[in-house]
Structure 1
Amino acid sequence: MKNKSAQSQAWKTVQIARHPDRPQFLDYASELFDEFDTLHGDRVFGDDGAMIGGLARFNGQPVMVVGQHRGRTTRERLKHNFGMCNPEGYRKSQRLLDLAERFNLPVFTFIDTMGAYPGVGAEERGQAEAIATSLAQLSRLKVPVIATVLGEGGSGGALGIGVADRVIMLSHSIYSVISPEGCASILWKTAEKAEQASEALALTADKLQKIGIVEHIVDEGEGAHLNPDQVMENLREVLTQVLAELQPMDAEARCEARYQRLMKFGSSNLGLAS
């Protein structure tokens, strides 16, 4: 049985991941990348403010950048739909990933969402299909793909841009199949058990690295909101290192390695966190 202090630590991590002053995608994009030129629309229905992406330079090299942005003020949060993407967001990211492959550009994705938007309109326009297509596209993309969880990585909404050669997490970010509140509502019929659920979900970076879901953890001290410049510099170093590892690989070999990485999930090869 897990002790109370372990449960409290997991719940504390959830609170830090959701801190209102925590740096968001556009904060990182402005610091890590130069000449970030955003592209808009999915060419089917419209433009989704929750998913932002475009061309940029990383250490002078042309790359494609895609990420989820929540917003801080009420106006910004409404504009970006609190970081919850509609199908248009995933179809926009698919369009950008196609461009990346066409022009041989490495892809950086940044995850920060409670989950995909669950509204009726989103379902009517094919939310599940859009996410599934994104998963398939990312799994076979021939350019390097590096995903970073900045804050909250929730459910299929996160996975829609989370299939990658390497996954990086900030040390106080979380990544899970469902929110602690949602999990508690299913298991205990009350969201008040969210703290217990946060421990049961094994959603912290250290536990996910231990079972092979995540390759790298970026130290953020007591929280990225307290020292954002240092955290961004730490992340830049890891991204530079990972890109240097992936880029020299043959495209087919990289795709096969990505496939094998995915096939380990749920198998005895991963093992369980103690």
Structure 2
Amino acid sequence: MKNKSAQVKAWKTVQTARHPERPQFLDYANVLFDDFDVLHGDRLFGDDSAMVGGLARFEGQPVMVVGQHRGRSTRERLKYNFGMCNPEGYRKSQRLLDLAERFNLPVLTFIDTMGAYPGVGAEERGQAEAIATSLAQLSRLKVPVIATVLGEGGSGGALGIGVADRVIMLSHSIYSVISPEGCASILWKTADKAEQASDALALTADKLKKMGIVEHIVDEGEGAHLNADLVMERLRHVIKENLVELQSMDADERCEARYQRLMKFGSENPGLAS
């Protein structure tokens, strides 16, 4: 019964993370930031609408903001490709991160994607290379980097903007190497086992915090879609607190701490069974 209860709880979190009325990146951007000036294009192929980023002010301080937007209506979802980025999206983020480094701007990223776009064209244009380059770039940035998982954090598509000094998750968001349906299809040959897979993947914020994958969880009650303003203010407070802490550190010290944070993943038994 304990395992079944855990499965139900994890699956409910997955459903909440995917709720159609859940606030998305641009909803948060309009509240958290002033003077958000969106920049376009990767200067190589084109502009990927699924990856949105640009210069903004957070609490009066200039920052670089990068996030994935999914869209809500059918027309919006098609425009933003359901939040699934193509290689040009990751190369656009790389261009913006270069600007952040050049002008010493903190980087704030916001994750909400099922995963990177898996189409043939994306693979032909170097999807894997684009994500790998993004990982390498984020790992060596001298400026502070804070990543927030807003809804669904899926696989390398999420990780492409997820390497950071601090990772924040909303309490009903999820972060995983694969979707529960994808995991179930591989392990049990049927997506009907998605509820069981959601628990086995340890994709909820509380389990990920226990493993040291994330540092902070923002309480959203029964779901951010029910009280968006309160959740956004709670997130603002957590980002501000972490930004102050990170900016008080020397750049080399901050990079070393980021390196050590990444290297400890998987080195300890988190005791998830407890």
TM-score, normalising length from structure 2? 0.99
Structure 2 Cα separation of the partners of residues 266 and 79 of structure 1: 38
What's the CA shift string for 1:214-262, capped at 9, x where partnerless? Answer: 0000000000000000000000000000001100111011000000000
Query: Which residue of 2 is the match for residue 67 of structure 1?
Result: 67
What is the aligned partner in structure 2 of residue 104 from structure 1?
Answer: 104
* Distance (whole Å) between structure 2 residues aligned to residue 156 and residue 149 of structure 1: 13
Query: 1:33 and 1:90 mapped to 2: Cα distance?
Result: 22
2:190 counterpart residue number? 190
What's the counterpart of residue 150 of structure 2? Answer: 150
Residue 51 of structure 1 corresponds to: 51
Name the counterpart of 2:38: 38
Q: TM-score, normalised by structure 1?
A: 0.99
SS of corresponding position for 2:224: coil
Consecutive unaligned residues in structure 1, runs of 5 or more = none
Whole-Å Cα distance in 2 between the matches of residues 84 and 217 of structure 1?
Answer: 24
Residues 1:224 and 2:219 aligned together? no
Amino acid paired to 2:87: P
Deviation of 1:2 after TM superposition, in Å, equals 4.8
Return the letter of the residue paired with 1:23. P
Match of 1:271 in 2: 270
Where structure 2 has 5 or more consecutive residues not aligned to the other structure, the ranges are: none
Over aligned residues, Cα RMSD in angstroms?
0.8
Residue 89 of structure 1 corresponds to 89
Q: Distance in 2 between matches of 1:58 and 1:34?
A: 7
Partner SS, residue 49 of structure 1: coil
Amino acid corresponding to residue 271 of structure 1 in structure 2: P
Structure 2: which amino acid aligns with 1:231?
A: V
Runs of 4+ in 1 over 6 A off after TM superposition: none
Aligned equivalent of 1:252: 252
- 1:53 is displaced (CA, Å) by 0.0
Secondary structure of the residue that 2:38 maps to in structure 1? Answer: strand
User: What fraction of aligned residue pairs are identical, expressed as a percent?
Assistant: 86
C-alpha distance in 2 between matches for 1:2 and 1:134: 40
How many angstroms apart in 1 are the aligned matches of 2:222 and 2:232?
Answer: 14
CA distance in structure 1 between the aligned counterparts of 2:37 and 2:271, rounded to whole angstroms: 42
Within 2, Cα distance between the matches of 1:267 and 1:88? 34
Structure 1, residues 158-190: CA drift from partner, whole Å, max 9, x if none? 000000000000000000000000000000000
Q: Which amino acid aligns with 1:187?
A: L
Aligned partner letter, 1:273: L
Distance 1:2 1:121, change over 3 A: farther
Question: Which secondary structure does the structure 2 equivalent of 1:3 belong to?
Answer: helix
